[in-house]
Amino acid sequence: MNDRIYIFDTTLRDGEQSPGASMNTAEKLRLAVQLEKLGVDILEAGFPASSEGDFEAVYKIAERLKHTEVAALARTSKGDIDRAWGAVQNAVKPRIHTFIATSDIHMKYKLNMSRDEVVKAAVESVRYAKSFTDNIEFSSEDGSRSDRDFLCKIFEAAIEAGATTINLPDTVGYAIPQEFSDLVKYVIAHTPNINKAVFSVHCHNDLGLATANTLAAINAGARQAEVTINGIGERAGNTSLEEIVMGMHTRPNFFNVSTQIDTEQIYPTSRLVSMITGIMVQPNKAVVGANAFAHEAGIHQDGVLKNPMTYEIMKPETVGLSTNKLVLGKHSGRHALHSRLKEMGYDLSDDELKLVFTKFKDLADKKKHVVDEDLEVLVTEGILRAADIFRLEYLHVTCGTTVLPMASVKLTINGRSVQGAGYGNGPIDSVFNTIAKLTGMEPDLLRFSVSALTGGTDSMGEVTVRLSDNGLVALGKGGDPDIITASAKSYIDGLNRLEYLKTHPVKTSEAL
């Protein structure tokens, strides 16, 4: 019988630390429900001590999920642990995840603590967390650069104090697969009570080796993998859930392990994360990228037509990519829309469905067929961001070879309508200038990109912007058949995210 690998998803905690990838509570809750549907074993919902907003999100997620363990991160302090427990106490399976740095460089320059002091802090925090729940995870931050015998010592002490999971992070993405595998084997072999805890790894992708390091660790005996959807996270990101899961799924004879992940939910979850965070998935991304199952070379196409296994080691359907999509149009009714949204993972209330149906009818009047990607935009804009400060009411643009580009814009700001006009170097520049004037915000535009969600001249256009304001960075995303309208929506989305960050700062929790 295959060994069980536990999937610990930290998209909502470590993943949110991607620059600009802020999520509001409604978005986090929606994503948490989808992650439970995906089948993750443990969901790290956030770092409750970092802000009131994070505490609220973790609390609501803990109340909502029915099967998945909900974890909250805490430093080795009673205050952090109190906040963590306060947030997850109503979960079906609550977990407190506490951590402290164990590398010499971190202990000397960041903590200013000796090894004995670090062990003492770890033991005291695990014991204190144990007074709330028996489900305790302890992590050694910067573990891959820590002395291996010291790791054994602190893990043994943490397990003795009550830790049921011990986690070895490659915090700065420094490890090499063979080296990391050897470290995992050594720690397992030299920690006397290791059999009383699940051994976990948490890898970062600074050298592009997060997936390789995690799979090497699993092969060496680790039984929990800490991952994020699409590999998002600080700096170069985290280990990608889809790559780890499909690596084990595709090579079962090599790994001889299994997970409880519903692989057909991988692609829908990937799309949802991309829609919510505004971070696009690169086309050549493994498993979920647009080109992952595309074949252009003639010899490849010929082989795939004869037998897909000649060049495809995975079936697209296995990860939730289906070529048999239900195409909706202006004659489609509410029931057909509701049915398709449920298949996509959106279980909307009657009021939410009514709002999306209205937007669907408006879009169906503009284009012949409405596909899944279009529906995702409607749900994201209509439901997930319903409480935004700034909302677009009206847009009119004049441009051409013989006129000065001008935009007239009407916005709702905190429920109050404002309108104005402005000029620019082009239609989009004039729109952005006018919106900035109306909102009183003038962020720097770091990135502007446009893509088509589907084929055809009536395709839904998707615009992504990256905005910076007083040290805060936010991504904005908008979609519309009219690319100028899509641009306005993306800019407004970015402004709303910046405003959210001002009141709900994303703290790095010193990061694992």
Tens digits of per-residue pLDDT, 97-124? 999 999 999 999 999 999 999 999 999 9
Rounded CA-CA distance 494/278 in Å is 9
User: What is the CB neighbour count within 10 angstroms for residue 457?
Assistant: 7
Structure tokens at 346: 């959106």
Angle (CA) 227 232 237, round 5°:
85
Tell the burial category of 113 from Cβ atoms under 10 Å away from its Cβ (0-12, 13-18, 19+).
Answer: middle
In the numeric block, the tokens 């997850």 are attached to: 88
User: Torsion over CA of 272, 274, 277 and 281, rounded to 10 degrees?
Assistant: 160
Residue 341 contacts residue 379 (beta carbons within 8 Å): yes
- Domains in the chain and their CATH numbers? 3-277 (3.20.20.70), 295-321 (no CATH), 326-512 (3.30.160.270)
Which CA distances in Å does 61 have to 26, 45, 248, 268, 476?
Answer: 10, 7, 29, 20, 24
Q: Which residues make Cβ contacts (< 8 Å) with residue 43, sequence separation at least 6? A: 9, 12, 32, 35, 36, 61, 65, 68, 69, 70, 71
Task: List the chain pLDDT tens, one digit each, 512 residues.
Answer: 469 999 999 999 998 887 767 788 888 999 999 999 999 999 999 999 998 889 999 999 999 999 999 999 999 999 999 999 999 999 999 999 999 999 999 999 999 999 999 999 999 999 999 999 999 999 999 999 999 999 999 999 999 999 999 999 999 999 999 999 999 999 999 999 999 999 999 999 999 999 999 999 999 999 999 999 999 998 999 999 999 999 999 999 999 999 999 999 999 999 889 888 878 888 899 999 888 876 444 444 445 445 565 656 788 889 988 654 556 777 778 888 888 887 776 778 888 888 888 888 888 887 777 777 778 778 877 676 656 799 999 999 999 999 999 999 999 999 899 999 999 999 999 999 999 999 999 999 998 988 876 666 667 788 989 999 988 888 888 888 899 999 999 999 999 989 888 877 666 556 67
89 with 132: CB under 8 angstroms? yes
**Is 25 within 8 Å of 279 (Cβ atoms)?**
no
Residues 6+ apart with CB under 8 A from 243: 211, 231, 286, 287
Judge contact between 225 and 196, C-beta under 8 A.
no
Q: What is the pTM of this model?
A: 0.85
CA distance 69 to 432: 43
* Residue 322, number of CB atoms within 10 A of its CB: 12
The bridge status of strand 406-413 relative to strand 390-398 is: antiparallel
Structure-block tokens of residue 3: 């060994």
Helices (H), 10-95: 25-38, 52-64, 78-88
